A and B are shown apart, each in its own frame.
Chain A
Amino acid sequence: MRNQSRVAFYLLLMPLVLWLGLLIIIPHIDMLLISLRERVSFGVYDRSLAQYEKALTEPLYLRTFARTAVMSVLATAITLLIAFPVAYYIAKMARGRLQQVLFLLCLIPFYVSELVRTFGWMILLRETGIVSNLLQWAGLADQPVEMLYTDATMMVGLVYTSMLFMVVPLVTTLESLDDSVIEAGYDLGGSGLSVLREIIIPHAMPGIVSGCIVVFMLSLGNYLTPTMLGGKDSLWFTEMIYNQFIVRSNWELGAAFGFMLLVLSSVIVWGMLRLTGRTLKETMG
């Protein structure tokens, strides 16, 4: 009996182990090994840290690296600011059918592929696009307006892509907040702002943190949106990885970039947890 259940346990564990092993651990080990070698001549490789040295000394690489990190954090912050009221409305103010419909509306854009959605933005925002024509028709612009290929456009795309992943955890945590706790906050003399600061946000903290982590990771690892909507100055780090692997066939440097991105995201997420972990402790005493 005991043996049987143990066999069943390992059988059930198998898919997870295979998935982790084959798709995550083994490729990453291989990547790490590739990033740690240097091509000496045709088919001859040496162990060295030359790739990392190159990545950390070349200003273009470093600047793109830093820019990607900062822009991702910014995109996460903007997503949070927009998603919070949306999630609050869905969780606490909408009732019954409306609640379901609103939630579905957040989900529907994800029925089409990211590529198509990004093209949608391009149709709207390009020089001959709908917004440009509308502005000309309304007399607000006297010539076609190009709104694509700027950082702002890219930010719009990033926020749009990530919205759902922020709204879902926020709605879940906000729904678990008892209405009477909010009412008690008002009843005891709180204003809207203080109830938000002292009661709603502390309660929603787990949702905020998990939403931010997911959105940050998605933004950092996004390839399509920065490439299609961003301008020539909006180089994203994932684009550089792609370039090294596909355009230059320089797998060694590409692998090194990949690892730098992994370290960066780990550090920022860890920092985020540390930061909120401390404030969580403070609010909970």
Chain B
Amino acid sequence: MTPDLECVDLVKRFGDTTAVDNVSFSVPPGSFFSILGPSGCGKTTIMRMIAGFLDPTTGDIRIKGGSVLDTPPNKRPVNMVFQHLALFPMMTIAENIGYGLRRRGMSKPEIARKVDEALERIGLPGIGARKVDELSGGQKQRVAIARCMVLEPDVLLLDEPLGALDLKLREHMKVELKALQAAFDTTFVYITHDQSEALVMSDQIAVMNAGRFEQVGTGQDLYYRPETPFVAGFIGDTNRWSGRIEKAEGGTLQLRTESGLAMRASGAGLAPGDMAEIFVRPEAIRLAATAEGLAGFDNHLSGTVTSILFNGAASRLLVQDAAGETLEVTLPQSGEFDRLKRGDMVHIGWGAGQATCFATGAAGAR
């Protein structure tokens, strides 16, 4: 099947700076593809090139197999939901949604019918006569999507459209966007710096840093099997050390961190003597009251609780071990550790498979 959107060796330079550096990817029809990266990584530049507002320096953009480089933005079968939505404040909601249809020269009754249909679809029937500033943030969001979807684009681009919403609404809109995507059955390309948006909604995520794609994969791939230190550090929270490899047996490594903490970890392509960065997620560390409870783990140590960072389900403990290293450990909310307080001794442990190593100085390391 031809991919809906395909970018081939895309490069964009502004003067001396390379904003997008040789990026290639393809998005299969009907999927939700996210580009995730910190601000300034070039993701907006990619989006603007796909929409046609910027010309790539080199490379090609194909939609449904055909190159669109020579197609101006108003003729591309691609529509964009802008960061601040860019609804037309001088028009009513119905006029906003009907704008693209009017441009295509559709007849008035047909436009009215399509607009009503679209409003029905986004769950806001009967608001056509209202003005843009009478709507709430979430409603505007849906209208902005409907305004694009009535044109039945091959690809819908979304440029951090949830950024302006408050947290509660953003959580709600994540689910809703995913549902809208399924309902419209259109390819969505979504750019964001918020990993939770990308992880929740996407079929495929590309993690971007400094103009390049670090890794493309499903949310699970990125979270469980990061390929670069940048991805390991960017997706989810993590404890991070650097240390020296003392022993390597197959995929399992024996290391010692700079502060003297010994641990077993996994990683490929590393030899004894190499410097490496080790990533362990707080939620991969098991907390126990006694050392016996951790017998099955490759690494265990004991330490004192220096701080309890209470944040509901995402609560953490800061645990300091004998060598002075501080680890962030997820605090399970199963009731077992309710009485824990600062200064208490705890035992923690994690498997070698949960500690990922990368050679120091590998591409993308920050």
Contacts and interface: CB of A to CB of B under 8 A. Distances in A.
Contact of A191 (B74, B87, B100): B74
A181 B86 CA distance: 5
Contact of A183 (B82, B100, B147): B82
A185 B88 contact: yes
Contact of A285 (B80, B92, B147): B92
Interface stretch (A141-149, A195-203, A241-249): A195-203
Interface string A177-197: 010110111111111001000
A190 B74 contact: yes
Nearest to A205: B90
A189 B151 contact: yes
Contacts of A23: none
A75 B361 CA distance: 69
Contacts of A187: 51-52, 73-74, 78-80
Contacts of A12: none
A284 interface: yes
A283 interface: yes
Name the residue among A188, A190, A283 with the largest chain B CB count within 10 angstroms. A188
Interface in B67-84: 72-75, 78-80, 82-84
B91 A283 contact: yes
A93 to B, nearest CB: 14
Interface size class of A (residues with CB under 8 A): 20 to 34
Contacts, number: 72
B154 to A, nearest CB: 14
Nearest to A187: B80
B129 A186 contact: no
Contacts of A191: 74, 103
B6 interface: no
Nearest to B130: A285
A203 B87 CA distance: 13
B151 to A, nearest CB: 7
B148 interface: yes
B95 A285 contact: yes
Nearest to B82: A180
Nearest to A194: B103
A180 B95 contact: no
Name the residue among A184, A185, A203 with the largest chain B CB count within 10 angstroms. A184
B88 A184 contact: yes
15 contacts: A180-B82, A180-B83, A180-B84, A181-B88, A183-B82, A184-B80, A185-B88, A187-B78, A188-B100, A189-B103, A189-B151, A198-B99, A283-B90, A284-B90, A285-B131
Interface of B: 51-53, 72-75, 78-80, 82-84, 86-92, 95, 99-100, 103-104, 129, 131, 147-148, 151
Q: Lowest 8 CB-CB distances: which A-B pairs, in order?
A: A188-B100, A189-B103, A184-B86, A202-B90, A180-B86, A285-B92, A180-B82, A181-B86
Given A184-B82, A189-B151, A285-B92, 9 more contacts: A180-B86, A184-B86, A187-B51, A187-B80, A190-B103, A191-B74, A198-B91, A202-B90, A285-B95
